[in-house]
Chain A
Amino acid sequence: MELAAAKMIGAGLACFALAGAGIGIGLVFGSFLQGALRNPGAAAGQTANMFLGFALCEATGLFGLVVAFMILFM
């Protein structure tokens, strides 16, 4: 029973990865908007890079989710 409880706590702790992903995604879009409002002409060419950054950031949070699933189900 203690092992099951420890697994639950561990899986919960693994979700702290989401904090980093949240900060990262906020920085990606915030910085993009800052740059885009200063130089709107160059903004359109950089949306692909922005989405690339967003996807890479989001993935790091999901790595935490994978760790949580591994703790729970393996």
Chain B
Amino acid sequence: MAMNPMEQFEVRPLIDHPLFSIGGHPIYFTNQALFMCVVVAAISLFLTLAMSRGRLVPSRGQSLAEASYDFVANMINSTMGHDGLAFFPFIFTIFMFVLFCNFFGLIPYTFTVTSQIAVTFALASVVILTMVITGFMKHGLRFLTLFVPKAPWYLLVLLVPIEVISFLTRPVSLSVRLFANMLAGHTLLAVFAGFVILLGAAGGILSVLSIAPLLLIVAIFALEMLVAFLQAYVFAILTCIYLNEALHLHDQH
């Protein structure tokens, strides 16, 4: 009864006919697209329902929505300063989307949208493009001084290429971090679930031993809840840090 732990990440079309095609490449409605729709609907429903009856003394849902708003606003204030609040809708959307994708993926039999490199890389490229466009709009060509730190000229020969390379790897590291965390966590859960089944089917004393990997799954699941939140937080705060560089170049806010 060997199972493939990677099977859960398989993207497959839910409707056999392609919806439309772009340049001869058929576009299907896949399980990934379905769960992205579910996540967006869940976020919209949660935020609108929780805030529809805005009460002075908030209910449980309302205080959750207010706490998430406060959390992101504080994050922006501490990293970008007051003028960073113009980016609040952008960062709040990214944070809520990644958070809900991560948590929806933890429910059994669901599909983890953020375990697909295509999704996370698209998110990361949007972030980096926003940063580059804001930087050029605000500073013009002076934005390129981002690659020139304050240092004597003989060090700059070394430092400028390093800065350029580190800038170019940002979208890769931002997307691979989220994707790899989700992939690794879910693979780990699937591998240990396979241990439980193998031990349970072995019979005799080995079946009793299968309780050990089961307990471990519970512990790993708790860790995965922490990771799911943490990765959304890290993604959002790195977005803030990158946008801060575009807004203020080398000076602090």
Q: Which residues of A contact B (CB under 8 A)?
A: 48, 51-52, 54-56, 58-59, 62-63, 65-66, 69, 73
Within 8 A of A (CB), among B176-235: 176-177, 179-181, 183-184, 227, 230-231, 233-234
Q: Is the CB of B180 within 8 A of A62?
A: yes
Q: Is the CB of A66 within 8 A of B183?
A: yes
Please, which residue of chain B has its CB at the minimum distance from the CB of A72? Answer: B6
Count of A-B contacts with CB under 8 A?
A: 39
Q: Which residues of B contact A (CB under 8 A)?
A: 6, 173, 176-177, 179-181, 183-184, 227, 230-231, 233-234, 237
Q: Is the CB of B181 within 8 A of A58?
A: yes
- Contact of A51 with B176 at beta-carbon distance under 8 Å, contacts A62-B184, A66-B183, A73-B6 already known: no
Complex alpha-carbon distance, A73 and B234, angstroms: 28
Q: Is the CB of A63 within 8 A of B237?
A: no
- Contact of A59 with B237 at beta-carbon distance under 8 Å, contacts A54-B230, A73-B6 already known: no
- Interface secondary structure of A, over-half rule: helix
Please, which residue of chain B has its CB at the minimum distance from the CB of A54? Answer: B230
Q: Which residues of B contact A52 (CB under 8 A)?
A: 233-234, 237
Complex alpha-carbon distance, A12 and B173, angstroms: 22
Known: A65-B180, A66-B176. 12 other contacts (CB 8 A): A52-B237, A55-B227, A55-B230, A55-B231, A55-B234, A56-B177, A58-B181, A59-B180, A63-B176, A65-B183, A65-B184, A66-B179
- Interface secondary structure of B, over-half rule: helix
Q: Is the CB of A59 within 8 A of B230?
A: no
Complex alpha-carbon distance, A62 and B179, angstroms: 9
Q: Can you list 19 contacts pairing A with B, beta carbon distance less than 8 Å?
A: A51-B230, A52-B234, A52-B237, A55-B177, A55-B227, A55-B230, A55-B231, A55-B233, A56-B234, A58-B181, A59-B177, A59-B180, A62-B181, A62-B184, A63-B180, A65-B180, A65-B183, A65-B184, A66-B183
Complex alpha-carbon distance, A56 and B237, angstroms: 12
Complex alpha-carbon distance, A63 and B227, angstroms: 16
Please, which residue of chain A has its CB at the minimum distance from the CB of B117? Answer: A66
Min CB distance, A60 to chain B, in Å?
Answer: 9
Complex alpha-carbon distance, A8 and B231, angstroms: 30
Q: Which residues of A contact B173 (CB under 8 A)?
A: 59
Complex alpha-carbon distance, A73 and B233, angstroms: 30
- Contact of A59 with B181 at beta-carbon distance under 8 Å, contacts A52-B237, A66-B176 already known: yes
Complex alpha-carbon distance, A26 and B128, angstroms: 31
Q: Which residues of A contact B237 (CB under 8 A)?
A: 52
Please, which residue of chain B has its CB at the minimum distance from the CB of A59? Answer: B177
Q: Which residues of B contact A58 (CB under 8 A)?
A: 181, 227
Q: Which residues of A contact B6 (CB under 8 A)?
A: 73
Complex alpha-carbon distance, A69 and B230, angstroms: 23
Min CB distance, A53 to chain B, in Å?
Answer: 10
